[in-house]
Chain A
Amino acid sequence: DAGVTQSPTHLIKTRGQQVTLRCSPKSGHDTVSWYQQALGQGPQFIFQYYEEEERQRGNFPDRFSGHQFPNYSSELNVNALLLGDSALYLCASSLRGTSGTDTQYFGPGTRLTVL
């Protein structure tokens, strides 16, 4: 049973550039969430996708956008990169409507460095 996969694992960009990160959810999951984790801090919620639509959004600027495809995979796009965007970007998948537990399965993350 394949878990959550993300690509690439590492990425180096310069300020002002654009980046696209990719995520494939765990088999059987239909909801994808993206989190940003700065060094030494907890993950911060960016947004969540379900049925190819953004359902919830955290306190992130419009430079952060996303997409979900019919096969439930997802992309995170960040435009006009800033030094402060350097972080580990985590994708988490879950099955919508599950109750009794709150398990989200996280991928290994993409380490983005902005120079």
Chain B
Amino acid sequence: GQSLEQPSEVTAVEGAIVQINCTYQTSGFYGLSWYQQHDGGAPTFLSYNALDGLEETGRFSSFLSRSDSYGYLLLQELQMKDSASYFCAVRDIGGAAGNKLTFGGGTRVLVKP
């Protein structure tokens, strides 16, 4: 089966840097995604890593180490609007077979003034 572990909650102040770790165990692996979800809202795509290394998109960066079955999301220059839940998700089947996502339990990030 598949399982993903991430911390349940992180608290930080505005302007700080937060790193959300994600470790996974899957029978197949085609990439690690990160989604943001505000309370009452839909998950929105943040980033995707298929290969080892760092992907940077503005204030957010995501890292993957396939050999360690580990990834992280880095939130820099935290803003109040970044208060949300963040989910890592694994795609365990590739190509025409589909792109089912298995999600972690989510990390609730609370940004304080």
> Which residues in A have some Cβ–Cβ distance to B below 8 Å?
4, 31, 33, 35, 40-45, 48, 50, 55-56, 58, 90, 92, 94, 96-97, 100-109
Contacts and interface: CB of A to CB of B under 8 A. Distances in A.
Nearest to B33: A102
B100 A48 contact: yes
B103 interface: yes
Contacts of A33: 99-101
Given A43-B87, A55-B98, 12 more contacts: A4-B42, A33-B99, A41-B105, A41-B106, A42-B4, A42-B105, A45-B100, A45-B101, A48-B100, A102-B31, A106-B35, A106-B44
Nearest to A44: B103
Interface of B: 4, 30-31, 33, 35, 41-45, 48, 50, 87, 89, 91, 93, 95-106
